A and B are shown apart, each in its own frame.
Chain A
């Protein structure tokens, strides 16, 4: 089949099973957009390239498939950078197709030229600059392969404008030959035997899961292990949903704003099984004092994660889809013994968790963000995906929104990208139309990409938006309150912008609630309205997220807030 470069891109997308792409047209990708027009390939036009890349990211997080976005050269491509870095640090499979100026113009500081490969090299899993049409089919095949296999990540394919127009005989390669990368990883089985031995003799083990469990679709295996042996379990922010929020022995999120029981259990355990985690500084507290009494076993697909942040006693490198079933099988004969060994520890940890759950104070008149999130959690079905932005509301969502099932908690974990939520929610809903999608944002975060409200209206994407509106940058003010003598530098927003009117102007419904009596009705109304709706909830400014492990402190040195909340 003879095709031009643009045709090859579209055919390759079809071959890879891509349902639709997010993007924004421009000079260098005109030929590609002409092909999208001619073939009627499904395309979602966002209002900003950053919206496109976050939407593709949200789609990938919700479905496990590769998200695809398109941008033009120069400013189009550089607008993707934040989104690419967000996906990279959370290991999200993404293909970003960017136009580049025509081959003879590369390197001449041409109009809308930027060195996209140079810029994105440190924040991608891999990237390509395509200068010759003959390379294009192979590059696209490799790009999808690299993005979705192994530890997934974003891949940028930068294609020169003349390559889109050049023609060649098209045949999608059936095989890939990459010398330094094969994508799958089967590790050393003996390591699993050693892990079994260590767990058999442990008295106070804890399972510590992360985003890797969700990426590898192994949450069911982890849940079974916990059930069979009553091993207490805790999760990172990225691992939320792998365990049902109220399942027995599950202690909720650990770390800086983690639960009391989870953090104390990490400090006291004698064996910590880290599964698909990377021991990020937000979860470990002061690194030298993380799980000080424990031997640590680390299950991960990425060899470079072993001993990167934490020195471990045993590493099981390999795909969790390989290691966890084997681990479970080899544990079978010892399930009952282990359960018996750790019975006392399990009961003790669960007792602490019941006695000291996440709490917040009682406010008679105001709506508290925590209360709103808890009430919301109580009235939605389990088939709900919650998408968050970044800041206090994100931590409260992690604490008070009960997540059931993997891929139901969508958040920018590693990079902490404000403005991620709204466009990501678009991708989540389009990828999983069967789910109820709720976006939880703040008055700071929502404004960072509020142009995408118009995308919601234009495509009538059914997302329910809650803006936790405290008139300040909550997390920033919390730190300024605690560590900078209440000098609220540039963090008191008090904006004159009316978010409800913005929503209405963009073409979606919006309404506001201010007092406590309105909360339940407000939430009900939000959920029952047809189509996209924004609910602006006015909350008091001076609320802190507790517990909190201050920087440089151990996990058991949590600040609990007034009344020991």
Chain B
């Protein structure tokens, strides 16, 4: 089963290594990973997509919670969260077929961000399934390059990673 975790960490060198190192050390696999500075900028936020049974999810959350630089761990639920990732697609398109390609892209709400004599670059955001469908349709025209960012996730509504920190950071209840 596919799972999505957001991990709030101190914005410091070496923290990503600790988080990713925990996965490799305990032989858990990562499907996709994205990292960025968040607000306030003393934190970075890591979004991790991974596969595994419930035992693995449990261990990952607990082991991440033990890393001193990890401030909070949030497990997302597909029903209550939104996921987005961006894909750039470079495709062969010339005067004869450019319009066809653009029409397909429009159906998928992909934006054109570069036009050259023989190529086009599209930008598309959305969930994996949508992107895969577009890629399938574009394949006959000749895809030159595809690059996907890791997906990011946010819970809908009032809930944020900051207010869930109390529950998932296991040492946080106790004051010094």
Contact at B66–A304, with CB atoms within 8 Å?
Answer: yes
- Answer whether residue A178 sits at the interface, using C-beta atoms and an 8 A cutoff: yes
For chain B, give the interface size range: 20 to 34
Q: Are A304 and B65 in contact (CB under 8 A)?
A: yes
Tell which of A117, A122, A126, A182 touches B175, judged by Cβ atoms closer than 8 Å.
A182
Contact with B55, one of A126, A307, A317 (Cβ below 8 angstroms): A307
Judging by beta carbons under 8 Å apart, are B171 and A183 in contact?
Answer: yes
Interface flag for B133 (CB, 8 Å): no
- A25 contacts B by Cβ under 8 Å: no
Asked if B67 is at the interface of the complex by the 8 Å CB criterion, the answer is: yes
Complex: A184 Cα to B170 Cα, angstroms = 10
Q: If A183-B176, A186-B173, A307-B55 touch, does A178 touch B68 (CB 8 Å cutoff)?
A: yes
Measured CB to CB, the nearest residue on chain B to A127 is B14
Whether A180 pairs with B67 at a CB distance below 8 angstroms is yes
Binary CB contact string for chain A from 116 to 153 against chain B (1 if under 8 A, 0 otherwise): 01100110011001000000000000000010001000
Give the chain A neighbours of B105 by CB distance below 8 A. none
In this complex, the interface size class of chain A, counting residues with CB under 8 Å from chain B, is 20 to 34
Answer whether residue A303 sits at the interface, using C-beta atoms and an 8 A cutoff.
yes
Interface centre among A126, A179, A303 (most CB of B within 10 A): A179
B176 touches A176 (CB 8 A): yes
**Residue from the list B21, B58, B62, B68 in contact with A180, Cβ < 8 A:** B68
A175 to B176, CA, bound (A): 9
- Number of inter-chain CB pairs below 8 Å: 71
Question: In the complex, what residues of B have CB within 8 A of residue A129's CB?
Answer: 13-14
Contacts of A308 in B (CB 8 A): 59, 62
Contact A307 B58 (CB under 8 A): yes
Known A179-B10, A182-B174, A182-B176: A304·B59 in contact at CB below 8 Å: yes
Whether B88 sits at the interface, judged by CB under 8 Å, is: no
In angstroms, how far is the closest chain B Cβ from the Cβ of A103? 13
A179 touching B62, Cβ below 8 Å: no
Smallest CB separation, A452 vs chain B (Å): 30
Q: In the complex, are the beta carbons of B173 and A181 less than 8 A apart? A: no
Residues of A within 8 A of B171 (CB): 150, 180-185
B69 & A180 in contact (Cβ 8 Å cutoff) = yes
Query: In the complex, what distance in Å separates the CA atom of A184 from the CA atom of B175?
Result: 8
Q: Name the CB-closest residue of A to B170.
A: A303
Determine the chain B residues whose CB is within 8 A of the CB of A186 once the complex forms. Answer: 173-174
Please determine whether B21 and A121 come into contact, CB atoms closer than 8 angstroms. Answer: yes
Option from A122, A126, A183, A306 in Cβ contact (under 8 Å) with B21: A122
User: Complex formed: what's the CA distance from A179 to B11 in Å?
Assistant: 12
A189 CB to closest chain B CB (Å) equals 13
Q: Within the assembled complex, what's the spacing in Å between the Cα atoms of A17 and B17? A: 32
Decide if A126 touches B68 in the complex (CB within 8 Å): yes
Min CB distance, A471 to chain B, in Å? Answer: 38
User: Does the CB pair A182–B172 fall under 8 Å?
Assistant: yes
Q: Does B3 contact A (CB under 8 A)?
A: no
Task: Mark contacts of B1-33 with chain A using CB atoms, 8 A cut-off: 1 yes-contact digit, 0 otherwise.
Answer: 000000001100110011001100100000000
- Whether a CB of chain B sits under 8 angstroms from the CB of A544 is no
Cα separation A542 to B35 with both chains bound (whole Å) = 58
Q: Does B149 contact A (CB under 8 A)?
A: no
Q: Within the assembled complex, what's the spacing in Å between the Cα atoms of A226 and B169?
A: 35
Give the contacts of A227-279 with B (CB-CB under 8 A): none
A186 to chain B, nearest CB (A): 6
Interface: B94 (CB within 8 A): no
Report the nearest B residue to A123, measured CB to CB. Answer: B25
Residues of chain A within 8 A (CB-CB) of B17 are 118, 121
- Bits for A353-397, please: 1 = Cβ < 8 Å to B, else 0: 000000000000000000000000000000000000000000000
A175 to B175, CA, bound (A): 12
Q: How far is the CA of A307 from the CA of B72 in the complex (A)?
A: 21
| A217: Cβ under 8 A from any B Cβ | no
Given A304-B62, A307-B55, are A180 and B71 also a contact pair (CB < 8 Å)? yes
Please give, as numbers and ranges, the residues of chain A lying within 8 Å of B67 by CB-CB distance. 126, 180
With A and B bound together, what is the CA distance between A259 and B18 in angstroms?
A: 40
Whole-angstrom distance from the CB of B13 to the nearest CB of chain A?
8
Q: Which 3 A-B pairs have the closest CB atoms?
A: A304-B62, A181-B68, A179-B71
22 A/B residue pairs, CB under 8 Å, sorted by A = A118-B14, A121-B17, A122-B21, A126-B67, A126-B69, A129-B14, A150-B171, A179-B71, A180-B9, A180-B10, A180-B68, A180-B70, A180-B169, A180-B171, A184-B171, A184-B174, A185-B174, A304-B63, A304-B66, A306-B62, A307-B58, A317-B170
**Supplied contacts A118-B17, A126-B67, A185-B174, 18 more A-B pairs, CB within 8 Å:** A121-B17, A129-B14, A146-B68, A175-B176, A176-B176, A180-B10, A180-B70, A182-B174, A183-B171, A183-B176, A184-B174, A184-B176, A185-B170, A303-B62, A303-B66, A303-B170, A306-B62, A307-B55
